[in-house]
Amino acid sequence: MLTTRIIPVLLLRNRGLYKGIQFKNHTYVGDPINTVKIFNDKEVDEIVVLDIEATVKNKPIDFEYLEEVVSEAFMPIGYGGGIKTIEDAKRIFSIGVEKVILNTQAFKTPELVSELSKKFGAQSVVVSLDVKKTLLGSFVYIKNGTEKTSYKPLEAAKLMESFGAGEIIINDIDKDGTRTGYNLSYIQEISKSVKIPVIVCGGAATVEDFVKAKQAGAHACAAGAMFVYHGPHRAVLISYPKYEELRKSLGE
């Protein structure tokens, strides 16, 4: 297993797999379960599954379908979307998910982060900071990028660490789906200031982007478009770099 984890991110909507650009214009790209099976064959170490409608539309967590997805996966799964309570998390863990990922609720009721960390262990609790630039600087957004908070990324990362988060995902809304490379400034700033692992997401196009992110301080690299699209015309093709290529490029 690599020291620097390389994590595909699957976006769910109505039991379909979707991909957007800058958190908008999501298009259907395939069946999540078939995609998980392909990632099994490619020996992916870990995946993240996010329901992009659960919180925005106040929909209940689709536990039944999530269990179907998890039952097909040979690798650890992190899940986010619609998690509001300890009971939600308990049920998610009971079907085989290893990490819960919070965004909106982490800022609405940050004590939930503490409660989950104490009950299930900090290693099981991840907070995703969806970050977007504005004229007044970069801020964290919630509700799938539709609602701006007053938190700057570094401030939010420190706060969530203090509440007991075991990992932070820095998800760059401006870079999402663009395949133009990660915004490394967020990683450089935050990884120096918190003790917990920092995951970068948004913009990856090549293995070289993973290398640059690692050098900037990222503990793991997540990506969506890079693993589901091929070529300039965005043809759908589920892919993942070969282990030896990653190991050699990352110096591991």
The residues assigned a catalytic role are: 130
- What is the residue-wise DSSP string for 127-149? EEEEEEEETTEEEEEETTTTEE-
Q: Give CA–CA dist 169/4, Å, rounded.
A: 14
Q: Output phi, psi for 12, to 5 deg.
A: -105, 140
Which stretches does DSSP call E strand in the chain? 5-13, 16-21, 24-30, 47-51, 77-80, 99-102, 125-134, 137-142, 147-148, 167-172, 198-201, 220-223, 229-230, 235-236
